[in-house]
Structure 1
Amino acid sequence: MKLGFFSPEVPGHLNPMLTLAGELTRRGHETIFVGAIRGEQTVRQAGLPFHPLMPNDPRNEDLEDAFRQLATASGMTAVARTGKIYEIHTQMTVDEVPRVLDQLQFDGLVVDQMSPVAASEADRRGLPYAVVCNALPVHWDAAIPPPPMAWDFRTDWLGRTRNKLFMRMLATLNDLAVWRRGLPDPMLLIREVERGVVRIAQQPAFFEYPHDTQASKLHYTAPWHRADRDDATIDFPWDWLDGRPLIYASMGTLQNNMGYVFDAIVEAARDLPVQVVLTQGGGEVEVSAEIPDNVLFVRRAPQLRLLEKATLAITHAGMNTAMECLAHGVPMLCLPVTNDQPGVAKRVEFHGNGRLVPVRKVTSAKLKQELTRMLQDESFKQKASQFQAQLAQLDGPAMAADLIEQAIESSRKFG
């Protein structure tokens, strides 16, 4: 089959999509990524073809500026700035997607749940598509706290009412924005979970809250990463590691320009009997605190290889990093920033393989307290090792590729 891939052009969504495309390519399918020009380098470095949408449009620079603004934001401010990114991206590409589908003549699509433009056009054409959830699989379920909110999971009337009211408010604000801008609904694939021929999450089933309802087409699998995804060009000083417990610290690749968080991590580690590798994630943040000998501050890091050696991870709780920590049996101290990260972090806390400190409450004293607790309490490592053992029995990319093949081929054959 000839398959088109549509995803937000950010590492947290592109990286797992690239793993899926690689698995489907290995099986003999032709895979082509379609998106804004900012995603081209990442895709081509993975050895896969990329078809750019509007590469010479001046709004590409507006898009880059919006991402730079997002890097310093958190909470609902960051959610609003994410909405601005969607607006620019959609205005730039909505008229181009039909022309590209005419030109490339795909047999089916693989569409991120945050890429509704491609899904809408596929529906109009009767073109089968799989919806994939690279982030949390978000759907309207009153039992599940909304991902942007770091709320406890509660099954009582108050918890469900709280969730319903927030979702209703979010839907109203979203509808007003859609009406004002005249753009496709960014929440289309969240609100209408039966769209597409199948819906697949890289989140394993055991990492969800216990609840009775589930979208009928939703399949949980396992993390979509391979060991060879690490950037082999990163020159890391492996001889710096001296055998002390290693803490790997990363605030991701988007909301990673909050200097006070990096300063707090450095100060928290100063007197602990550990080594810390702290990465900028390719961002521009600088550390104002004096960096002690037991902290290595780098622009980029080989994350998967470091997690193989890590005792703990400090993370923004992006889905990819969380899944990679689960697969490597590494407990997490989560500092969620925005979007689905609070929801991921609360699941880590709920299942016992980590702790959560909201990013707005981060201080060096609080981080030191939490790190000390996690280093001394074996229960976090025990739970993380349990999850690692479960995931070792699963091949997430193969599971997802099987589902995509079966669903799209069946739709093409039987309609």
Structure 2
Amino acid sequence: MARFALISAPFASHIRVFEALADRLMGRGHEVLFVLNEGARHVVVSSAPVRTVRSAGRGGLDAVIRRAARPTGPLGILRTVADGADLTDALCEDAPAILKAWRADMIVGDEMEPATGLVAAALGLPFASVAAALPMDVSPGMPLPFLDWPFDPSPEGLKRNAGGEKIANALLTRQRHGIEAWVQRFGLSPRHALADCLSPTLRIAQIVPGFDFPRPPSAIRHFVGPIRGEPPPVAPLLPFEPDPARPLVFASLGTMQGHRLGFFRKAAEACREVGVQLAVAHCGGLSAREAAALGADFVTDFVPLAAVMRRADLCLTHGGLNTVLDALGAGVPLLCVPIAFDQPGIAARIVHHGVGEKLGRVTLSCGRLAASIERLLGASSTRERAAAIGREIARAGGGDLATDLIEAALNGTRASRPEPRVALA
């Protein structure tokens, strides 16, 4: 038996991934502790205990998430970076004492949270990095995950990517300064960027190689596919019954973007123009009055994704990784309208692998939506490519393989654990 501390970014979609790992680890006899920013405790539905650290974000975690859900150009990016750096500061300040008192054996942390690597190094603990979103490390020809650029290993592509990284470094100055300050405080070897805080021994990704840009082989990067909780003994049913004679489009913008009423209205008008059914899951982002006024065939807050993907002919999404992987797992093509975070990079991979199309959020119109919907519903080759990735996902191993890798990583490091770099009471 071992004690695993789980540190996740405080977003529901990320916490669900870590809950799936927590439940498997506990099922194998281990102890698990979530260490999260203040305000995220209520998101956790796992039976694992939760300890929270102070949330340094302006207005608390709810305000941080509201700001992240509404990006507004470069200023919005800088604001989100500053909020993230504040959350990292809170974890670095409080988590070491929590983990030392709890006698953690290993940390399993979110790749988006640099505090994982910083705290693990400070305590001399082994740790695994889990990419609930796109992996943070890139290879030659691969743009940064929050850019919608194509994969291009040519000299021109490499030059373009280098320019993107230069701009990103400027935008991420607040994060870099925070990392460097904690490196100095903990007495660690130099680290400057988020990628420097990833595990040097085990990195786990939810995607599969067939949905990534080309990467050279890696002994530490493992692609396990979607990390999900155990399926219920009885498969849940849809809260509506689609007409089997008409194609069904499923639209969702996830838990952070479900408030976008204008997007759903355009989608409903486009689907009426094409003559197909539209099912909308707004994830609690709309009021009952707004939901009733959409004009879609079916509107609900949440829906069992596996059940709806079995019936859907097309998934209209912002490019959240969990939704995209669930669609591909069922062989459903995608129409992606990226909004923020790694969604542009996911949209680029959708186009790269020919499993769907992407449209720009700013220039989105009913006409463009309708044209893409009609084109994708008639493209059998697109569905075939999505089905091929779905078969790869089914073979990938998912949460069970991820748990195997985490256990093996701990067993391989127990005999040679370094001493902590900081002395904590």
TM over 0.5, yes or no? yes
Cα–Cα, structure 1 residues 180 and 223, in superposed 2: closer, same or farther, change >3 Å?
A: closer
Stretch moving more, 251-260 or 2-11: 251-260
Q: What displacement does 1:289 show? A: 9.9
Cα–Cα, structure 1 residues 240 and 204, in superposed 2: closer, same or farther, change >3 Å?
A: closer
Q: What displacement does 1:235 show? A: 9.5
Q: CA contact under 8 A between 1:131 and 1:198: conserved in structure 2? A: yes
Q: What displacement does 1:70 show? A: 2.5
Query: Is 1:195 equivalent to 2:196 in the alignment?
Result: no
- Written as runs of structure 1 = structure 2, the 5 A alignment for 1:284-295 is 284=286, 287=290, 291-292=294-295, 295=297
CA distance in 2, matches of 1:241, 1:157: 51
Query: Is 1:179 equivalent to 2:177 in the alignment?
Result: yes
Q: What displacement does 1:242 show? A: 5.4
Q: Who is 1:347 aligned against?
A: 349
Q: Who is 2:29 aligned against?
A: 28
Q: Who is 1:408 aligned against?
A: 410
SS in 2 for 1:95: helix
Percent identical pairs in the alignment equals 27
CA distance in 2, matches of 1:251, 1:306: 15
Q: CA contact under 8 A between 2:116 and 2:197: conserved in structure 1? A: no
- Written as runs of structure 1 = structure 2, the 5 A alignment for 1:190-229 is 190-192=194-196, 195-211=199-215, 213=216, 216-226=219-229, 228=231
Deviations for 1:43-91, whole angstroms, at most 9, x for unmatched residues? 2x2332212223xx68584321122123232665553343133133234
CA distance in 1, matches of 2:24, 2:221: 20
Stretch moving more, 32-41 or 378-387: 32-41
- Written as runs of structure 1 = structure 2, the 5 A alignment for 1:13-412 is 13-43=14-44, 45-54=45-54, 61-73=59-71, 76=74, 78-175=76-173, 178-179=176-177, 184=182, 190-192=194-196, 195-211=199-215, 213=216, 216-226=219-229, 228=231, 237-239=239-241, 244-284=246-286, 287=290, 291-292=294-295, 295-412=297-414
Stretch moving more, 162-171 or 74-83: 74-83
Stretch moving more, 268-277 or 187-196: 187-196
CA distance in 2, matches of 1:134, 1:342: 15
CA distance in 1, matches of 2:164, 2:56: 36
Q: What displacement does 1:275 show? A: 1.6
CA distance in 2, matches of 1:4, 1:188: 24
RMSD, aligned CA: 2.9
Cα–Cα, structure 1 residues 346 and 59, in superposed 2: closer, same or farther, change >3 Å?
A: closer
Q: CA contact under 8 A between 1:140 and 1:167: conserved in structure 2? A: no
CA distance in 1, matches of 2:255, 2:72: 14
Query: Normalising by structure 1, what TM-score?
Result: 0.89
CA distance in 1, matches of 2:75, 2:300: 28
CA distance in 2, matches of 1:148, 1:131: 19
Q: What displacement does 1:317 show? A: 0.7
Cα–Cα, structure 1 residues 81 and 227, in superposed 2: closer, same or farther, change >3 Å?
A: farther
SS in 2 for 1:223: coil
Cα–Cα, structure 1 residues 177 and 110, in superposed 2: closer, same or farther, change >3 Å?
A: closer
Deviations for 1:237-288, whole angstroms, at most 9, x for unmatched residues? 3346555322110011123333322221111112333221112222247759
Stretch moving more, 140-149 or 106-115: 140-149
